[in-house]
Amino acid sequence: MSDELRVMMLTWEFPPRIIGGISPHVYYLSKSLAKNGVKVYVVTCDFPGAPSHETVDGVEVYRVDSYKNPSPDFASWVYLMNMNMQKEAASIVRELGGVDIFHAHDWLVANAGIGLKHVFRRPLLATIHSTEYGRRNGIHSDYEKMIHETEAWLTYEAWKVICCSNYMVSHVKWVFGLPEDKLIMIPNGVDAKEYEKSDTDLNQFRRLFALPEEKIVLFVGRLVYEKGIHVLINAVPKVLEKVNAKFVIVGNGYMQQSLSEHIRNMGLTHKVMFTGFVDDRTLRNLQKCADVSVVPSLFEPFGIVALEAMAAKSPVVVSDTGGLSEIVEHEVTGIKVYPNNPDSLAWGITRVLLDENLANKLKENAYRKVVEMFNWEKISQQTKTVYESVLSEYSKTFWA
């Protein structure tokens, strides 16, 4: 082992390729680890216009040609992408003369991580961001079962499994039957500094989305069932009975069309705005403008959008489930409501919008908690400690 700890991160998304939460997670984690003296090599899928190798904030990023094999379905694409990723990663490791640890994020890179572990005889760490069981609320087909078993295989092969919340630790432990001491909780983080930059006149910006007399209720997330967007849409008329508000919905997803139709049928088209996917800067400005940020998820392993809203000093209303339950303390750092319950959600939203003192108190407390608990400096330090303890265990094995 050289003096400098060398980690190869495997991830199917890394900026500018952003599909879900793994991309920003791996970006901030890698960048903070690099600041903490860890040499990080990220191997990820390619993206139009992004170079195949570059150094980003001290992190070496390699992008693999991932769309050259025809694929009958998404899972087959994932496995074929892993074939290519593993091939490229093997060349990189050989050129580097070895790395100390492989760190894989979700089943999407399971094959590559497991293969590299055995070929180079180096420990594998896995971060499980989400499970097929959780995403689908059970396993209902061979396709889902195959993904579920691939996730189980990854956790089996991993030296340690990292989850971002206590909820996910217990979920993953139960769903894959893992021993307690294999699991480690390290929270997700948010870079609060990103929200301090102000290069936009927010009053002017706000007018693009709402009338001056309207409060902004913000939802950020994929428009899919598990995110509970339909619960929010059903809460819209209940909120409007008490407060004049504009609902701004950021994100794409298969539910968009049916939701739009539902809103049209209620005659509330002028009160709900779908922005689609927006760039980072617009998103941060929206979060800063929001009078309340809502996270009505039915299943949420962590709930990074709640954390972002807290960093943006927007009061949050979240459903009391999964990771959200741990991030938010009711009536202290936000308001918790019953999941899948439009009445409860409407109550939470109006409670924040009608009581300015409460809203101010919530956002001050929330901001303080984010800076203290969920900062990347601390998270990368915890991650580095895990790497070091795994390597010390590894040094006593016959592989070392």
Residues near other proteins (CB under 8 A) are 68-73, 75-76, 79-80, 82-83, 86-88, 90-91, 93-94, 111, 114-115, 118-121, 142-143, 145-146, 149-150, 153, 156
Look up residue 182 and give its two tokens: 């294999």
Nearer to other proteins, 65 or 261 (CB): 65
What does the DSSP 8-state code read for residue 152? H
Shortest separation between residue 76's beta carbon and other proteins, angstroms: 6
- Classify each residue of 36-47 as buried b or exposed e, where b means 16 or more C-beta atoms within 10 Å of its C-beta: eebbbbbbbbbe
Nearer to other proteins, 88 or 329 (CB): 88
Shortest separation between residue 73's beta carbon and other proteins, angstroms: 7
Nearer to other proteins, 149 or 226 (CB): 149
Q: Which is nearest to 218 in space by CA: 134, 305, 138?
A: 305
- How far, CA to CA in Å, does 278 sit from each of 23, 82, 108, 209? 16, 29, 25, 13
DSSP string across 208-273? TTS-TTSEEEEEES-SSGGGTHHHHHHHHHHHHTT--EEEEEE---TTHHHHHHHHHHHT-GGGEE
Would strands 215-220 and 245-250 be described as parallel, antiparallel, or unpaired? parallel
Shortest separation between residue 348's beta carbon and other proteins, angstroms: 41
Shortest separation between residue 128's beta carbon and other proteins, angstroms: 16
Nearer to other proteins, 80 or 185 (CB): 80
Nearer to other proteins, 140 or 197 (CB): 140
Shortest separation between residue 104's beta carbon and other proteins, angstroms: 12
- How far, CA to CA in Å, does 38 sit from each of 8, 147, 333? 10, 32, 34
Shortest separation between residue 143's beta carbon and other proteins, angstroms: 5
Nearer to other proteins, 81 or 169 (CB): 81
- CB neighbours of residue 218 within 10 Å: 26
Nearer to other proteins, 156 or 274 (CB): 156
Query: What is the 3-class SS of 337-364, one letter each residue?
Result: ECCCCHHHHHHHHHHHHHCHHHHHHHHH
339 contacts 298 by C-beta, under 8 angstroms: yes
Shortest separation between residue 372's beta carbon and other proteins, angstroms: 41
